Amino acid sequence: MTDLDAPVPTPSAEPPPKPNSLSRIVGALTSPGETFAAIARRPDWIVPLLIIVALTIIGGVLLAGQVDFQALGREAMEMNPRSAQMSSSQVEAGAHFSAAMMRISTYISPALITIALLIVSGILLVSCRAMGGEGDFRQAFAVTVYAWFPRVVKGALGLVVLMTRKSLSIFDLQNPLMSNLGFLFDPKSHPLQYALGSALDLFVIWTLVLLVIGFAAVSKLPRARTAAIVIIWWVVINGITLIGPVLQAIRR
């Protein structure tokens, strides 16, 4: 056999390039349809999760040096309707306990956010699968982490605002930006209206939209059905968080 008769080797297909997590973060915020389709095909979550954790740690450290936790603890006790029936020593002990819990939550917030992302991923994946969708947990977690970045943007902007203030209240920490309807109500005299208004937040709605697009790409379900799943769970979770304000409003 001559060299001309030898079979010509076929070139091997080049492996697809590895995902660029930074460009995916930008893409999730600016062109989510195409980006989440790519994330569903090749999920990744380590880099974006590390960015979320790192920014949360930085924000927590900066706020810890800015916040008077004892003052926040006393403010929390003033908002508690049961404090009227407590002795001064009990109120002071409650204020110290509240301050300690706030300080601890500031430092463990990266772990709390990671746990929240895992729970959201699992709930939405199971719900989509129950409706006949596809996908695995790795895809679901990747979508959830990337869809969380509107909240990261809000946190960064809120941190800039908070660092410019000399004193901070609980409500400043909860709602540093006027990105929702909560600013229309006095949180102390109208706690339920304030909580309802705060739930209608532009960054939260942005996150919900990204979750719908992302889980539709993973599950192969229609976006309308995926939107129903995401919105129902959002209503359920917000309903649970409203229990405290409802009780506070009743006791008034």
Top-confidence residue, 63 or 210:
210
Condensed to tens digits (0 to 9), the pLDDT of residues 169-203 reads: 778 888 888 888 888 888 777 888 888 888 889 99
Which pLDDT value is given to residue 17?
66
Treating both helix axes as pointing N-terminal to C-terminal, what angle do 21-30 and 32-41 enclose, rounded to 10 degrees? 140
Residue with the bigger pLDDT between 57 and 102: it is: 57
Tell me the domain boundaries of the chain. Answer: 20-164+178-251
Terminal Cα distance for the chain, rounded: 98
State the amino acid at position 53 in one-letter form: V
Q: Tokens 């991923």 sit at which residue? A: 121
With contact defined as beta carbons under 8 Å apart, do 128 and 218 qualify? yes
Whether 39 has a pLDDT exceeding 80, the answer reads yes
